[in-house]
A = this chain, B = another copy of it.
Amino acid sequence: MKLKYGMIGGGNGAFIGDVHRRGAFLGGYANLVCGCFTRNPQKNQEAAQQWGVEDPSRVYKNYQEMAEAESQREDGIDFVAITTPNDTHYDIARLFLEKGIHVICDKPVTSTLEQAKDLKRIAQEKNLCFGVTYSYFGYAMVHQAREMIEAGKIGKIVYVTTEYPQDWLLLNLRDEETRKKMWRIDPARARGSLCTVDIGTHLEALIHAATGLTITKVLARFDYTVDDIPLETNSNVMLQLSNGASGNLWSSIVAVGQDADVRIRIYGTEGSLEWYHGKPGLLKYARLGEPVQYLAMNRDYNGADSLSMSHLPAGHPEGYYEAFGNIYERFCKDVIARQEGATEKKYDYPDIDYGIHGVRFVDACVESNEKGNVWITL
């Protein structure tokens, strides 16, 4: 436990706060020592206690106070984890960066592209790490795909299709109280996108993590399937990728019966790869004219990058917490490297560039849809 960190957000019952906490712990590199978990003072203290913050004076009433106090302490935090609603990320992140504190933040990193670029600028100036927790980056077999692609195992990529169907919106709408708390469906806070910014963006990052390619053009069509929500709840995006290949990206928060069923299929001239969140420890691999194979996590035949993200013997499931743990582990190692003198990123994890591209992707989709489903260049 070489690092100390604090958390902003996470105390209002959203599951993602606990995911950050568990993820930060798993690798054994970071200890939670302070936080501002919610603006409700009592819940703030409760969350702190539950999560092992030992010193009550390090439970802060707002993030500004925390940034100020922690940056002054000799034993102040090494980094801050930001798990608040999307439209608050920028102000918080900027302040901590300015105080010289490394930042790891939930996605999307900011509301506007300018904000994201601004954060990048500050982080660079101050030689600080900036992680963005695109969760699916953290799965070992996503990296196995990447390693196999780079080794030429599927030839040249010609087509990528990825999807994230889910039904959380419909479930949550059934309860009036839950609905009221959903800041995501408030058009004023949403900047023109609900489904795409919430989960479509995960797929954008996943394509990059799994293939190394980036999206260069989009043609998006948004579907508005819930009567009184003027934001898209289902989203289809045709893609052009940086190597000239085509792609397709579908996300939905109204797909009844689907449970975070993230899937990516990558087709090359000689083979294909498929990864599915429902069985995250497997990677399907086919070569033209040969039997389909399923690679299992943490078997010897996997690549070094994939193995570095695998902890249990094959067949013992690792899941979402462990994926987060893998991202946190690399982020922490990078923070340590900077503390030991590094002046650039030494470990591979989703950083502010992932964040910038994520914002740009959503912006382009919104624009494409508004203009009548035309191609927009990123």
Interface set of A (CB-CB < 8 Å, partner B): 1, 15, 18-19, 22, 25-26, 28, 31, 50-52, 54, 154, 158-159, 161, 165-168, 170-171, 174, 219, 221, 223, 225, 234, 236, 238, 246, 248, 250, 252, 254-261, 265, 267-272, 277-280, 284-296, 299-301, 311-322, 373, 375
Contacts and interface: CB of A to CB of B under 8 A. Distances in A.
A236 B248 contact: yes
B314 A260 contact: yes
B317 A15 contact: no
Contact of A319 (B171, B301, B318): B318
A166 B267 CA distance: 11
A123 to B, nearest CB: 28
B221 A246 contact: yes
Contacts of A314: 259-260
A177 to B, nearest CB: 14
Contact of A28 (B51, B268, B269, B271): B51
A321 to B, nearest CB: 7
A193 to B, nearest CB: 16
A159 B81 CA distance: 37
Contacts of A277: 315, 317
Given A234-B246, A291-B293, A296-B259, A311 B225 contact: no
Assembly stoichiometry (copies): 4
A240 B179 CA distance: 30
A78 to B, nearest CB: 15
A225 to B, nearest CB: 4
A375 to B, nearest CB: 7
Contacts of A285: 257, 291
Contacts of A50: 28
A256 B314 CA distance: 12
B252 A287 contact: no
A261 to B, nearest CB: 6
B259 A311 contact: no
15 contacts: A1-B54, A15-B311, A15-B313, A18-B311, A159-B234, A221-B238, A234-B246, A236-B238, A277-B315, A280-B317, A289-B300, A291-B295, A294-B294, A316-B320, A317-B317
A130 to B, nearest CB: 25
Contact of A289 (B154, B225, B299, B315): B299
A266 to B, nearest CB: 10
A236 B225 contact: no
B289 A171 contact: yes
Contacts of A290: 301
B291 A301 contact: yes
A17 B311 CA distance: 12
A170 B289 CA distance: 9
B51 A315 contact: no
A223 B158 contact: yes
Nearest to A260: B315
A171 B50 CA distance: 42
A315 B261 contact: yes
A267 B286 contact: no
A238 B374 CA distance: 12
Contacts of A234: 158-159, 246, 267
Interface hub of A256, A258, A300, A318 (most chain B Cβ within 10 A): A256
A255 to B, nearest CB: 5
A199 to B, nearest CB: 11
A127 to B, nearest CB: 27
Given A255-B272, A257-B285, 15 more contacts: A15-B311, A25-B25, A219-B221, A236-B238, A254-B267, A256-B267, A256-B270, A256-B287, A256-B288, A257-B288, A260-B313, A279-B279, A291-B296, A317-B319, A319-B322
